[in-house]
Chain A
Amino acid sequence: MLEVRELEAWYGQAQALWGVDLSVADGEVVSIVGPNGAGKSTLVQSIAGLHRSTRGTIAVDGVDLTRVPAHRVGDHGVALVPEGRRVFARMTVHDNLVLGAYRRSARPGLADGLARVHSLFPRLAERSSQLAGSLSGGEQQMLAIGRALLAQPRLLLMDEPSLGLAPVVVDEVFDAIRAINADGVSVLLVEQDVERALEVSARGYVLAEGRIVASGSSAELTGSALVRRSVLGL
C-alpha cells in the first residue's frame, strides 16, 4: 500500500526528517509514536502532499507521490484527518461531509458514504445542518474523520486524532478507527497517546528527533524500554 523510503524533509535550512523508512500493508493499522517535535506531523503532511520540501520516495501502490500536486494525491486513495481537526468552521456539517467527496471519482459513492458516516457517528446526522464551528471538539474530530471517509480512501492518514479530547470521546474515536479498518481501509495513525495507539495497531514505529529509532510489533514496542524512555519519558 504505502512505501516510504529514505525520506528527508526540510523547513528552509532546518532538516526535520532524516532517512525515514516505513511501510503500511493493505488492510493494516500502523502507528507512529514519538514525543512532540519528533517530526510526526511533517511526515504525515509530506505523505499527504502538503509539505513539499522533501527528498526520497513516497510510493502508494508503486506510484511515487513526491512530485504529485497536493490536490492529486487523493486520486491515489489517500485521505487525511489533519492535526487539530481543521473542519471548515463556517460550513455546515453536511457541507463538510459532501466536500469530502469532492473528487469526481468519489461522487458516485456520496449517498452510501454519508449513510456509513452517519451510522459510525450518529451525532453527525443529528447536527447535519449546524455550522461545523459550533460543534464540540469531539464532534469536530468525528466530522474530520467522516469527511476523510467520504473521499473513499484506501489509506487513511490520521494526525493526532485524540489530541485535546475527553477520555470518553477518545474511546469513540478509537472504536471508529477499528470499525474503519474492519471495512478494509489501511490506517497510518500518528498519536501521542502511545498505549492507545499501540492497542489499536498491529505494528508501530517510534520517531524521535526526525529519525525512526525503533519499530516492531505493537506488543514488542509496548514492552520496550526504549519506547518508555524516548516517548513517555519514564
Chain B
Amino acid sequence: MTTLQAALSGALVGGMFAVMAAGLSLTWGMLRVINLAHFGLILVGAYLTFELATSWGLDPILTIVVTVPLMFLVGAGLQWAFDRLGVEGFASLLVSFGLLIIVMQTVSNVWSADFQRMEGDVNPYATGSVSIGRFVFPAPTLIAFVFAVVIVVAADQVLRRTFAGRALRAFAEDRAVASAFGIDHRRLGMVLAGLSAASAAVAGMLFALGNAVTPSTPFEWIGIVFAVVILGGIGQVGGVLLAGVLVGTLSAVVSATWSPALSPLVLFSAIILALLFRPHGLLTPASRGAR
C-alpha cells in the first residue's frame, strides 16, 4: 500500500523533471547546444514566482503570465549570442556552466542564500491535496504532472505536424540541405531556444509551488534531469515524459522501501543498464539509432 502510494507520487514528481528536461532535450537535439544555463533559468523562474506571489500578491500559477514571455526573450537572446559566437557542442557545455554559476551567484545576491518558500497565505496550493480512493496526491505534484502532459503533448504535436516542427527536425538531421529548402536556422533556433526557456519558467513555477528554493538548488536537479534527457533520447520530447515518470517512480519506491540514501545509486545503475540496451533512448530501438 505505502509502496504503491510512493510509486504513484513518484510518477507525478517525475512530471516536474519532465518539464525541466523537455527544453534541455530539444535544444540539445536540434541545435546541438547543451545548455546548463537552462537550470539557471529554472532557478530564476522559481524565484520570480516567489517574488511575484509574495510582493505583488499574484496567484503563483498565474505568475507564468509574466515569467514565460520574459524567459522567452532571454532564451532567444542567449541563442542569438551563442549562434553569433559559434558556441555549440562541448563548448556550449562549458560556456553555459559558467553562465549557470553567474546566475546562481546573482540570485544569491538578490534574494540571499537562505531558503525561500511561499507562505500558505500566498500559495493556496502548497497544502492542498486530492484523494483518489485510498491514495492521496499533493496538489503541487498533481499540477506539475498536468503541466508536463500538456507541454510534452503540445511540443510533440508541433514537431510532428507543423511546418516549423518539420523544419526543426530536418535542420537537426542535415543543416545544409535544410537551408537549401529555405530553412533559416538563425530565426528557427532563436524561437526554439525561446520556447525552451519559456518551459524553464514553467518548471521554476512548478518547483516553487511545492518546495523551498535556495540559490544552489540547481545542483540537485542536474543529475536527475540529465538522466531523464538521455534516457528519453536526446531531442525526443515524448521520451522525456516517459523517462521522467520512470525515474520519479523508481526513485520514490527505493526511498520508501529501502532508504532515500540508496535512491541515487539504484537510479543511476538502472539508467546505465537501460542505456546498454537502448543507447539512443527508451523509445529508439538500438539498431535504428545508428546514423
Contact = CB atoms under 8 A, between A and B. Distances in A.
B170 interface: yes
Interface string A75-99: 1000110100010111100010011
A71 B180 CA distance: 5
B32 interface: no
A107 B163 contact: yes
A50 B183 CA distance: 13
B181 interface: yes
B166 A147 contact: no
A90 B163 CA distance: 16
A102 B180 contact: no
Nearest to A45: B176
B-side interface size class:
10 to 19
A74 B180 contact: yes
Contacts of B119: none
A90 B173 contact: yes
Interface string A106-140: 11000000000000000000000000000000000
Given A50-B176, A86-B174, A71 B182 contact: yes
B286 to A, nearest CB: 15
Nearest to A90: B173
A163 interface: no
Contacts of A82: 176-177, 180
B184 interface: yes
Nearest to A151: B181
Given A90-B169, A107-B163, A99 B174 contact: no
B36 interface: no
Nearest to B184: A71
A71 B183 CA distance: 6
B180 A70 contact: yes
Given A98-B166, A99-B167, A147 B173 contact: no
Nearest to A150: B181
B173 A99 contact: no
A102 B179 CA distance: 10
Interface in B167-219: 167, 169-170, 173-174, 176-185
A11 to B, nearest CB: 15
A80 B163 contact: no
A89 B182 CA distance: 19
Nearest to B180: A80
Contacts of A86: 174, 177
Contacts of B183: 71, 102
The 6 closest A-B pairs by CB, nearest first: A103-B182, A70-B179, A71-B179, A80-B180, A71-B184, A86-B177
